Structure 1
Amino acid sequence: MKQLFTTPLALIALNLAAPAVVAQSISEKNLREHIGYLASDELQGRGTSTDGEKKAADYLAKQFRKYGLKPMGTDGYYYPFTFKTNPNPHDTATANLPLRNGLDVVGFLDNGAENTVIIGAHFDHLGLGKDRNSLQANSEGMIHNGADDNASGTAGMLELARHFSQNKEKEPFNFLFMGFSAEELGLLGSKKWCEAPTYPLEKVNYMLNMDMIGRLNPDSRTLLVYGVGTSPVWVPLLDGLTSSFKVVKDSSGIGPSDQTSFYLKNIPVLHFFTGQHGDYHKPSDDADRINYAGERDVLEYMLAVINQTKDKGKLAFLTTRNTSMTRSAFRITMGVMPDYAFDGTGMRIDGVTNGKPGQIAGLQKGDVLIHMGDDDVKNVEGYMKALAKVKKGDTVKVKVLREGREKEVEVTF
């Protein structure tokens, strides 16, 4: 997943009731096999434009072929593209940078239907940390296997492809299964495909995206669902499902993963995410830390969502209230990870990066940020708005709740 310091979430917990999630049909064994390979050292972290990413793409193409999917790239299953990107997040200049290669993988399940559902996940990760997007200090050259981010989502996409390709009862829509490249560098793979699609966008019913669905907390069982405001169908549909999850929803169509590219083409989207953790964008995001049973449950829930759209025809699209604050709007960072599943007042810190302003000021994981500069902070969005006012070199007073007690620190950016 692209770093989650760009799009604020207005998170509202849902109480779910009525139709139950379908009986289990997702294979935990298959998930272990897919993630075990994709997050192995052999693939060297699947960095965009590397041999490891190409091996991952070949693996996806092999599975699509096995499931009888029709190639829907520009070169068989492959959708190659080129791009330039600056590894310095504060510098957008690319004119003198070398051209790089990305490679999406696209397979089509033709059910002879009028409309198509897209199911996607990005399969690239940070490789050896050479694009400077690791959150572990001095980690360039270390393998970032990205088991949760996003071997987990890729494995989920593959398992849904297997399920629907082997389903005896055809769905009333076709499926386009997509593995995206260069998501970590700015959602580039999904953007490139949407700019020059190999399937008519007007025939797409909706798009489901999976990014980091492998670390479900077994105690809280919180599942975050983005994009519920992109169609009038989504909220009542989700409200009508019974599950063991604490479902937290966000209405915005714009978020930190590939569903954004499709929303911007006026396509209803949902994005599924099991939450942030301390291994995010670090070499420690390995396969042995995945909650495989939890991921299986997430995929079963997604099957139930898809099943509930069978009789709804082509879904209506809605635009949502989206923030204008993007990655480029922030010239500084505090170096803390918001807990997007936190539904209390304030912005709970889920991780602190060594050497960054927050850590230097003494902020800790578990602190709940309630005031920053002149602003009260009631949620992630409030934190983002306060951060947008800060300039490099500023020293800002920050108040947090730590174990129920208020504490004030000064953060120098």
Structure 2
Amino acid sequence: MRINHLIIVLFLTVLTACKTNSEEKIDVVTIKEDVAFLADDKLEGRQTGTDGEKAAAKYIAERFEDLGLKAEGTKGYLQTFSFKPKTDPHQEVNYIIKDGDSTITGTNVIGFLDNQAENTIIIGAHYDHLGYGAEGSLFRGDTKEIHNGADDNASGVAVLLNLAQKLKSANKGNNYLFMAFSGEEMGLLGSNYFTKNPTIDLSKANFMLNMDMVGRLKQDSTLAVYGVGTSPILKQVVKANNSNFKIIQNESGVGPSDHTSFYNSDIPVLHFFTGQHEDYHKPSDDNQKLNYEGMETISSYIFDIISDLDDNGKLPFRKTKNETEEVPRFKVGLGVIPDYLFDGKGMRIDGISEDKPAQKAGLKKGDIVVKLGDSLVIDLMSYMRVLSTFDTGDKTKVIVKRGDAEVEKDIEF
């Protein structure tokens, strides 16, 4: 009787334990939670080489480990790179490995999902930002303030981590290398270093996906996708999987973010971007301003693109026209943030800088510049060409479309 009773007790104990384990929920970290950590004041803006950057790298490495990714850095998940900051913006960065007074050490964070496949898709986003207002800050206040970089680029890292969660159990036709880069704000340094010192065989890299500033999806759901010309199938795939966005496509594989480093290594790329805004490179780029539902939708869209290409094998690479070489040099500025996603006639203003010609003339966010001086403005490129003809002290007129009306203002550069 005692033996039978003991067997029953053990059976019930095991049954209860099994039931508890089956009903236990697996904690999934949300996009919002990842952004909240990375854009917190405690990380002091995640400037490359600082304690805040190291804390962010540690967090991302722990997230990679929790997601079951294999460490693929040079020391666990981490790949450090040391360099001397450039004194000339046109010179090549000088990567070094010995300590020096002017040496900065940045850290890439790299995790690998091994599906025993022939090729590997690289999914990347930079996590560094401007600290208390490093070079590139547009803040004009008298005091130093933390630049948290919620959109730029905690948003991209959070979407990257969300994609890693999705891809753990889907799409086995490729391996996946997830990379969080540092040094982007200082000139794409982390991604550039990786392509020169890769921890995988880059000849097996299928294509690279980059998310930089994907946290401010606007009401019209406009999403820019750059690099669609870097492989013949990409235009079709970007269009075929879209049911939620107004897509602005750009063929070039060259741009001011980390995908450029991989394009320059002859790897097809796609870069996703929800547009500029008035908080860009300012302390006001905080997490409460992000569109988290939009970020979830973007993550699902990128996942669908990956799924569509899962059985396509290795994509062929194609060179594209470098549109940045056509951008004219300026002696003056209007003091506006262009709406890079606007595809209508003219140049729509997405933000106004304080104490600059546009603000002094009474231009407003949402105005569409249709004429500057004697020249018509039909798009962003024509606006830049016209602007490059003016010098300091010049006076002219600007015509903007404001609602249904055209408004003329005097401008002094």
Identify if the C-alpha distance between structure 1 residues 386 and 245 changes in structure 2 by more than 3 Å, giving closer, same or farther: same
Matches of residues 50-129 of structure 1 in structure 2 within 5 Å? Answer: 50-85=50-85, 98-129=102-133
- 1:226 corresponding residue in structure 2: 226
Measure the CA separation in 1 of the matches of 2:128 and 2:326: 21
Name 1:6's counterpart in structure 2. none
Query: 1:170: how far off?
Result: 5.1
Would you say the 8 A contact 1:77–1:105 is kept in 2? yes
Q: For each residue in 1:29-53, what CA deviation from the matched residue of structure 2 results, as whole angstroms up to 9, or x when unmatched?
A: 5111101100111111111221111
Matched, 1:149 2:152: yes
Tell whether the 8 Å contact from 1:61 to 1:77 is kept in structure 2 after alignment.
yes
Q: Which runs of 5+ in 1 are unaligned?
A: 1-26
Mapping of 1:11-30 within 5 angstroms? 30=30
- Equivalent residue number for residue 9 of structure 2: none
Work out whether residues 339 and 347 of structure 1, in 8 Å CA contact, stay in contact via their aligned partners in 2: yes
The corresponding residue for 1:19 is none
Query: What does 1:326-337 align with in structure 2 at a 5 Å threshold?
Result: 329-330=329-330, 332-337=332-337
Following TM superposition, by how much is the alpha carbon of 1:392 offset from its aligned partner in structure 2, in angstroms? Answer: 4.6
Counterpart amino acid of residue 158 in structure 2: A
Query: Structure 2 vs 1, CA of residues 32 and 361 (structure 1 numbering), >3 Å: closer, same or farther?
Result: same
Q: Percent identity?
A: 49
Distance change in 2, residues 1:316/1:146 (3 Å): same
Query: TM-score normalized by structure 1?
Result: 0.85
SS where residue 141 of structure 1 aligns?
Answer: coil
For 2:198 and 2:300, the matched residues in 1 are separated by: 29
Question: Per chain length, whose mean CA-contact separation is higher, i.e. which structure has more relative contact order (CA < 8 Å, sep 6+)?
Answer: 1
Q: Distance in 2 between matches of 1:369 and 1:28?
A: 46
Task: Classify the secondary structure of the residue corresponding to 2:44.
Answer: helix
Give the superposition deviation at 1:176: 0.6
For structure 2, the 5+ residue unaligned runs are 1-26, 95-99
Q: Which residue of 2 aligns with 1:271?
A: 271
Structure-2 separation of matches of 1:86 and 1:261: 18
Q: CA deviation at 1:252?
A: 1.3
Partner of 2:8: none
Q: Distance in 2 between matches of 1:123 and 1:410?
A: 41
Matches within 5 A, 1:331-370: 332-370=332-370
Q: Is the partner of 2:370 in helix, strand or coil?
A: strand
User: Does structure 1 retain, via aligned residues, the 8 Å contact 2:57–2:107?
Assistant: yes
CA contact (8 A) 2:347 2:383 kept: yes
Using a 3 Å threshold, how does the CA distance of structure 1 residues 87 and 331 change in structure 2: closer, same or farther? Answer: farther
CA distance in 2, matches of 1:136, 1:378: 30
SS class of match (1:46): coil
Within 1, Cα distance between the matches of 2:103 and 2:384?
Answer: 33
| Paired residue secondary structure (1:45) | coil
Give deviations 1:97-152, integer Å, cap 9, x for gaps: 923222111111111111100000010111110x2322221265101111111101
> What is the one-letter code of the residue matched to 1:132?
E
* Farther off after superposition, 313-322 or 33-42: 313-322
C-alpha change, 1:92 and 1:112, in structure 2 (3 Å) is: closer
Deviation at 1:356, TM superposition (A): 2.9
- Distance 1:72-1:390 versus aligned 2 partners, 3 A rule: farther
SS at match of 1:298: helix
How far apart are 1:92 and its partner, in Å?
7.0
Contact 2:242–2:301 (CA under 8 A) maintained in structure 1? no
Residue 67 of structure 1: how far off its partner (Å): 1.9
Deviation, 1:195, is 2.2
Q: Is the 8 A contact 2:83 2:93 kept in 1?
A: no
- Paired residues in the alignment total 382
Which residue in the other structure is 1:179 paired with?
180
Q: Name whichever of 299-308 and 286-295 sits farther off.
A: 286-295
Structure 1 distance, partners of 2:86, 2:392, is 20
Aligned to 2:297: 297
Q: Which amino acid aligns with 1:298?
A: I
The one-letter amino acid of 2:229's match is G
